[in-house]
Structure 1
Amino acid sequence: MHIPEIIYSAAAGALAGIFFTWLVMRARRAVLADRLASATTEIETTRTERDALRGELSDHSARFARLESALEQEREKSKEMAAFAQAATQTLKDTFKGLSADTLAQSSEQFLHLAKSAFESFHVKASGDLAQRQKAVEEIVRPVKEALDKVNTQVAEVEKSRKQAYGSLTATVESLLRGQKELSTETGNLVSALRKPMVRGRWGEIQLRRVVEFAGMLPHCDFVEQSSVKTETGTLRPDMLVRLPGGKLVVVDSKAPLEAYLSAVSAEDEATRKKFMADHTRHLRTHIQQLSDKAYWEQFDQAPDFVVLFLPGEPFFSAALEQDEGLIEFAVARRIILASPTTLITLLQAVSYGWQQEQIAENARHIQELGADLYRRISKMADHFGTVGKSLDRAVKSYNDAVGSLEARVLPAARRFSELDTSIKNEIPKIEPVNVVSRDISAPELIEPPEEEEET
């Protein structure tokens, strides 16, 4: 193998690896996007719950404020009553101070004592009422305080969950950005490499071989790569010939134009991308027309009246169809069948199934030939058995004739000899004739085998 071919093969292998890495990264980006959407939904739910808790907290806070205000009013009333009692006591003292100490001393002391007792009783009662009211207020406020504590705890948990969610979301976004950056780098490398015609052609051939191997059409039995045929206009060289049962051929061409599509993928704005996509469809139409003009079906006697144009990736096919819905009809009218990896695998698997049926039919023909040969051999063997049976019958007849001749002609003289010679003690045993005959072959196919199947 020459050095340039080694370089091209290595570059094509690297490009294939980059392309599959790009597919993996795109799938990973889709997974990360789903996780981001899920995390965003969870954050929105948490925010809704937090807003609801804040509403409840606001209601409880307003109620607590109202209770605090009522308690403060009760405290002010108690202070006013205590001030009033103190002022009344001072007024009484000032009033009786002017009277005669001797005359009114005892009365004033008694009055003051009674007044003091009365005011102390009033103060105790007022203090008791204030304590009771304060206790009642505390009883009312306690559930509110507990609810507020619960709300504060829930808010803290929500805040903690929010921080964790945002942390996880941040990590996910960072991972997504890293994956996007790596994907962009790999895509750029792939696009740059595929812009070279030789590398792009070699990559298309590798993709074609992978599809054929996946479909079970191995090179040594079902297809031939880079066959060529000379015509009046020059040498035609299809990328692959798929051999069909019965000696038929299907021509496959993988030289699809991809330059415009690669430019569309790397475009930075939508308008430029649409322009290059339109160019991709137009270039593909031109290539279809050029491939139809080559008329491969006229150069190969066993080829059907169509040629398969292989596009080495599903996006190349789908992008062209999005721009031109009548592309398939345009190609079929010119005897060109557009095939992506998926459709070509299906086509080749159908061809592989045809080869399997051809092999089954070939095995059936061999079995038929072996059966006919076995039948002829069995018929011949039956003839030999018939000959052996007839020979056995003749041997039995000869044996019986010999026994009859022995008994009629030899044994009587031998017995008379033993009668004359008394020293002979042993008697001649009696020999019985054989009455068993061989069995005839009765199977008709063994007696009269068909003439067309007799061994020559």
Structure 2
Amino acid sequence: MTYTICVLAGLVIGGLAAWLIASARITKSFTFKIEESERRANLAEGRASGLEATVTELRGQNQKAFEDFTKLRDQFGNENCARVKAETRLAETVQRLEEERILLDDAKAKLTDTFKALAGDTLNNNTDAFLKLAKETLDKVLTDAKGDLGKRQEAIQGMVKPLAESITKFEEHVRTIEKNRQEAYSGLTEHMKLVSTGQQQLQKETANLVTALRKPQVRGRWGEMTLRRVVELAGMSEHCDFAEQVTINTEEGQQRPDLVVQLPAEREIVVDAKVPLEAYLDAVASESEDTRKKAMARHADQVRTHMNILASKAYWSQFSKAPEFVVMFIPGESFFGAAVDADHTLIEDGLEQGVILATPTTLIALLRAVAYGWRQELVAKNAQEISDLGKQLYERMRILAEHIGDIGKGLEKANSSYNSAVGSMEARVLPAARRFKDLGAASGAEVPLVQPVETTPRVLTAPELSGNLDDIQGTPKTGSGYATPPADDGGLANE
């Protein structure tokens, strides 16, 4: 029986360990996919922005080409009207000349018949001469008519030739514009294909990101990563300026806020990053305006509910060093803006309950202020230590000066004793010694003369060393107003 229980316990523990390992791997995999999706989404957005700028520029060029085409088309229309008018006039002139030619031929025939009828036999002899004269007259009339027709044709050709040249240039220009338009349209089509591909890729990545964010574990991990990135951007260091996932035991059980920021003067700020986003994602994915508004209202309700839960936890009662508020971190400006637009009293109600709503921008500003406070605290602490060290150094120098003064007094006393001994030697001892030599009781060199010492030790004249220190500067104090601690003279006072 005991063996069976041990086996079952081993299987349960092994299954639990395998589940924890698999959960950690899945969470790591989702985190990597989310970061990769964000990177691809940012890259696709950059490409889409560039392609949109290119499309805008090509549209402007296409619009300009269309305007030029419209102007040339109007000009071509005007010139075409003029050409039609000239061709109409030419056709009318040719028709009129043809009618005149027909009239001349008819007149010639009638004239011939008339001459034949009138002349009869009496004019038979003169027929050839008359016909010759009539022919000459008719040839002259035809020559004049043909000359007039040639001049008119030359005048019409002079009018039509510039028009034909203008039409030819216009057709060439139109062909060039059409060629450029086709090339621009081909480039625009390629760009639109790239934009469409980028949009599809972006939509795919966005769909993957939305699917991942709908999972509470992935969404919580993403919020914690965003919070950590924001804190690091504010210039703070882990374990020095902030701590993550701090666990505390309360009467209601264990509580674990996402972040605890250390403040100067041993104070703390508690930050929570667990914000629901399901309703916001539904609002973004909705197609109708009514559905979107309802989803945004649900998003504001979810944010308010989470804010009330944070307020009920009362982190400031468990963290004795924390002020009476907790920071509710919302990892996106759009999430916060959508909630405030749907619920205008969200910020005021949060402040009344001790919950401050913070986005990445406002949290960075708050944390930078905290970091500045830390720097000021460090500067004040260093200034205090420098002041204390200066007081100690000053006191030690004073004690050393007193010892040097005692040494000077000793030297002065030794100098005085030396000079007294020299005087006694010269006045009392040396005369007796010289008499020994004069009487022959001593031999050898003369007793050397001993010179008195005229140099005296230099007197310390500084006011700090010649009088009482307390009488000169009063009771020592530090730069911050604290009383000076007992000076460590390194044992000089006892020497």
TM-score by length of 1: 0.89
Distance across 1 between alignment mates of 2:138 and 2:425? 176
Deviations 1:100-125 (A, max 9, x none): 789654x4444433433333333333
Contact 1:16 1:203 in 2 (8 A): no
2:244 corresponds to 1:225: yes
2:334 corresponds to 1:315: yes
* More displaced 10-residue stretch of structure 1: 297-306 or 325-334: 325-334
Aligned residue among 150, 153, 170 for 2:172: 153
Distance across 2 between alignment mates of 1:157 and 1:323? 57
Aligned residue among 421, 435, 442 for 2:461: 442
* 1:312 match: secondary structure: coil
2:215 corresponds to 1:204: no
2:153 corresponds to 1:134: yes
Distance across 1 between alignment mates of 2:51 and 2:337? 25
Q: CA separation of 1:373/1:226 partners in 2, compared to 1, >3 Å: closer, same or farther?
A: same
The match for 1:246 is: 265
What is the aligned length? 453
* More displaced 10-residue stretch of structure 1: 371-380 or 108-117: 108-117
* 2:469 match: secondary structure: coil
Distance across 1 between alignment mates of 2:403 and 2:147? 140
* More displaced 10-residue stretch of structure 1: 394-403 or 380-389: 394-403
Contact 1:313 1:340 in 2 (8 A): yes
Aligned residue among 322, 328, 335 for 2:347: 328
Q: CA separation of 1:104/1:405 partners in 2, compared to 1, >3 Å: closer, same or farther?
A: farther
Deviations 1:6-60 (A, max 9, x none): 4323422321332343344345434434443443344334323322321221111
2:192 corresponds to 1:173: yes
- Structure 1: where are the runs of 5+ without partners? none
Q: CA separation of 1:144/1:431 partners in 2, compared to 1, >3 Å: closer, same or farther?
A: farther
Q: CA separation of 1:80/1:399 partners in 2, compared to 1, >3 Å: closer, same or farther?
A: same
2:27 corresponds to 1:11: no
Q: CA separation of 1:435/1:94 partners in 2, compared to 1, >3 Å: closer, same or farther?
A: same
* 2:254 match: secondary structure: strand
2:96 corresponds to 1:72: no
Q: CA separation of 1:446/1:139 partners in 2, compared to 1, >3 Å: closer, same or farther?
A: farther
Q: How far did residue 184 of structure 1 move?
A: 1.2
Q: After the TM superposition, which residues 39-78 of structure 1 pair with which residues of structure 2 at under 5 Å, given as runs?
A: 39-78=58-97
How large is the RMSD of aligned CA atoms in angstroms? 2.9
* 1:433 match: secondary structure: coil
Q: How far did residue 286 of structure 1 move?
A: 0.9
The match for 1:185 is: 204
* 2:356 match: secondary structure: strand
* 1:382 match: secondary structure: helix
Distance across 2 between alignment mates of 1:203 and 1:95? 119
Aligned residue among 427, 431, 438 for 1:408: 427
Distance across 2 between alignment mates of 1:156 and 1:77? 39
* More displaced 10-residue stretch of structure 1: 245-254 or 74-83: 74-83
The match for 1:345 is: 364
- Structure with the bigger RCO (C-alpha within 8 Å, sep 6+) is 1
Aligned residue among 396, 404, 424 for 1:385: 404
* 1:22 match: secondary structure: helix
* More displaced 10-residue stretch of structure 1: 125-134 or 284-293: 125-134
Q: How far did residue 64 of structure 1 move?
A: 0.6
The match for 2:131 is: 112
Distance across 2 between alignment mates of 1:73 and 1:162? 41
Amino acid corresponding to residue 232 of structure 2 in structure 1: E
- Structure 2: where are the runs of 5+ without partners? 1-16, 477-485
Distance across 1 between alignment mates of 2:199 and 2:67? 32
Distance across 2 between alignment mates of 1:108 and 1:388? 177
* 1:219 match: secondary structure: coil
Distance across 2 between alignment mates of 1:140 and 1:48? 29
Distance across 2 between alignment mates of 1:115 and 1:398? 180
Contact 1:12 1:206 in 2 (8 A): no
Q: How far did residue 165 of structure 1 move?
A: 2.6
* More displaced 10-residue stretch of structure 1: 240-249 or 372-381: 372-381
Q: How far did residue 61 of structure 1 move?
A: 0.5
Q: How far did residue 214 of structure 1 move?
A: 1.1
Aligned residue among 265, 268, 275 for 1:256: 275
* 1:66 match: secondary structure: helix
Distance across 2 between alignment mates of 1:101 and 1:36? 97
* 1:242 match: secondary structure: strand
Amino acid corresponding to residue 321 of structure 1 in structure 2: V
Q: How far did residue 304 of structure 1 move?
A: 0.7
Q: CA separation of 1:72/1:399 partners in 2, compared to 1, >3 Å: closer, same or farther?
A: same
* More displaced 10-residue stretch of structure 1: 72-81 or 436-445: 72-81
2:303 corresponds to 1:281: no
Distance across 2 between alignment mates of 1:191 and 1:244? 36
Question: Percent of aligned positions with the same letter in both sequences?
Answer: 42
Distance across 1 between alignment mates of 2:387 and 2:137? 137
Deviations 1:220-264 (A, max 9, x none): 201111112222222222111111101111111111111222233
Q: How far did residue 144 of structure 1 move?
A: 2.3
Q: How far did residue 317 of structure 1 move?
A: 1.2
Contact 1:306 1:335 in 2 (8 A): yes
